[in-house]
Structure 1
Amino acid sequence: MGTTPLALPPARYDHGADEFVFVEIDQAMSLEANFKAMTITAALREEGLDGVVDICPSNASYMIRVDPDRLDPVELVEHLRELERSAGSLPADYVLPTRVVDVPVLFDDPWTRETLLRFRDRHQDPQATDLEYAARINGFAGVDELVEALSGAPYLVTMIGFVPGLPFCYQMVPPQRQIEVPKYVRPRTDTPERAFGFGGAFAVVYPVRGAGGYQLFGIAPAPVFDLQQRLPDFASGIAFPRPGDILRYRAVDRAEYDQVRSEVDSGTFRYRVREVEFSPAEFLADPDAVNSELLEVLYR
């Protein structure tokens, strides 16, 4: 049975007081690093070790909270090193049960455009919109070509955090096709709720209105965070995205945006979701083929 090697440096293990163990898989974010973090944390969760209080995967790292009266953190680190050695390669038959989700986005919308224009003095290119700036520095002919690339391939939710419900999403394309943009020179003091932003190589949907520094590309009509759990998709929790989810940010027009907003307002909106078994090894071998299969399943 074949395996796919993960060419990553040895992980770095740190203790946080006597309750936390932090493990850095790699200093740089990559899909390989995130796959390794997910593999290890999934195995640890499956084991159900007594004394492990919480498991928190991140982009290229993870953190474990421990009850030191039930589990010695030093012993846990030794066990995590064993899991790291076993996760040095991805077995061809390893699959991640997850969800593929359709997330509509209205690009170049009036609300984020109004916001970004108020903060041009904090931006690298005050004479351009964020989409125009991102298209130029990434070598696209224009905004339309950039939007096509942004919505053309799905994204992996590598972590949830910073504020409740905020999904950090890394596009599932080879490194040479990754879109990257810097954050604002100085953060904005205002960002619309549900704004679709991009910073570094990560896409996000802002769950609430507030400060922010990511480039503003558009806005989603549906929430990713619902404190009142009013919508059916939030019955089991106030945040909809989960680490390991695969999101397709699909470009929509104003008419579809307004239609989804009316469904959200009436409490009838449901995300289009398909349960899948995702093979990281197959993806690393042929990303475009696996992405095509995922989108075919989503819109079947």
Structure 2
Amino acid sequence: MQTRFSFGGDEHIFAEVGEAMSLEAFFKSLFITNAVRDARIKGVTEICPANASYQVKFDPDRIKPDDLLAELKRLDSASEKSEPVIKTRIIEIPVLYNDPWTHETLMRFRERHQNPDGTDLEYAARINGLDSVDAFIKAHSSAPWFVSMVGFVAGLPFLYQMVERKRQLQAPKYLRPRTDTPKLTVGHGGCFSCIYSVRGAGGYQMFGITPMPIYDPNQTISYLRDFMCLFKPGDIVKWKPIDRAAYDAAVADVDAGRFAPVIRDVSFSLTEFNRDIDGYNRKLDGVLHGR
């Protein structure tokens, strides 16, 4: 996997690890950005990992661009020899699929959609060769997802499904973006799922909504007091389908300050995962639920 480097103006180096998203490209990007952070290279002011690339911002008065490029190339070579294992977390995210709020929103914007006579879930099920919305929800929630990057808006995670490429769910974005998306909508565009951390415009298909806040700039929510954004690259997400009663109960718990998300520490090996994907995902599920 050959990384392509380019300068972005006087203060940035952009590295394209792979042209297509893959866990291998993501792991290499994560390894290098973590190494840059740990090395505390003088003059580096910001590190931005992405799905299959990364960008480093630097102060050219403190480090010469060519010197930083040489250091990044050295770390790139070291990544090829490293064991693809990370210490991370697996997080359970409850989802009310086919909820009334995203349904009301998507119906307001049907003229911008590929299938104006159906819902986003119905459309996604059909184009992925599944015979029902329930079958699609099962396919969406049965396997875990990697957080490959956080951004676009504050706290929004991009999630990559941890199954063989031929089984990955795919769905295009709306023909034209919406001007409204409910906060905490679970969306999907291309091969990526996401959670909209705030209300606003968007173009991803809308599948449901979670009662679990993932971004709190005031840091009043118990599990977001240390940092306002829940997710970081390398986190693993497991969706948990819930009904309306469970959703309402979770919202009440959040409001009362007693909601406790299910989060477990885990060591993830890409080599072992690729050896037996379904078996490894069952292992992760066991870690999540204490089995």
Q: Same fold (TM over 0.5)?
A: yes
Residue ranges of structure 1 left out of the alignment (5+ in a row)? 1-7
Matched, 1:99 2:59: no
TM-score of the pair, normalised by structure 2: 0.97
Q: Secondary structure at the match of 1:116?
A: helix
Q: Where does residue 103 of structure 2 map in the other structure?
A: 113
Most deviating of 132-141 and 280-289? 280-289
Instruction: Name the amino acid aligned to 1:99.
Output: R
TM-score of the pair, normalised by structure 1: 0.94
Q: Where does residue 87 of structure 1 map in the other structure?
A: 79
User: Structure 1 residue runs of 4+, over 6 Å off?
Assistant: none
User: Which residue among 22, 46, 65 is the counterpart of 1:30?
Assistant: 22
User: Which residue among 119, 133, 145 is the counterpart of 1:155?
Assistant: 145
Instruction: Name the amino acid aligned to 1:235.
Output: R
Matched, 1:179 2:169: yes
How far 1:206 sits from its partner (Å)?
A: 0.5
How far 1:46 sits from its partner (Å)?
A: 2.1
How far 1:66 sits from its partner (Å)?
A: 1.0
1:33-85 C-alpha deviation (Å, 9 max, x unpaired): 11111111122222222222221110010011112222212111122112222
- What is the correspondence of 1:34-45 to structure 2 with a 5 Å cutoff? 34-45=26-37
How far 1:285 sits from its partner (Å)?
A: 2.1
Q: Where does residue 19 of structure 1 map in the other structure?
A: 11
Distance 1:249 1:235 in 2: 23
1:166-205 C-alpha deviation (Å, 9 max, x unpaired): 0000011110110000000000111000011000011111
Distance 1:48 1:287 in 2: 35
Matched, 1:47 2:53: no
How far 1:162 sits from its partner (Å)?
A: 0.5
User: Which residue among 53, 56, 60 is the counterpart of 1:68?
Assistant: 60
Distance 1:74 1:287 in 2: 41
Most deviating of 135-144 and 269-278? 269-278
Distance 1:123 1:90 in 2: 44
Change over 3 Å in CA distance of 1:90–1:286 after alignment to 2: farther
Q: Tell me if the contact between 1:90 and 1:281 (Cα under 8 Å) persists in the aligned partners.
A: no
Alignment: residue pair count: 290
Distance 1:250 1:131 in 2: 17
Q: Tell me if the contact between 1:231 and 1:268 (Cα under 8 Å) persists in the aligned partners.
A: no
Distance 1:83 1:34 in 2: 15
How far 1:89 sits from its partner (Å)?
A: 5.1
Identity of aligned residues (%): 49
RMSD of aligned Cα (Å)? 1.2
- What is the correspondence of 1:1-300 to structure 2 with a 5 Å cutoff? 8=1, 10-88=2-80, 90-91=82-83, 94-300=84-290
Instruction: Name the amino acid aligned to 1:80.
Output: L
How far 1:90 sits from its partner (Å)?
A: 4.9
Distance 1:71 1:235 in 2: 35
Instruction: Name the amino acid aligned to 2:202.
Output: G
Q: Secondary structure at the match of 1:88?
A: helix
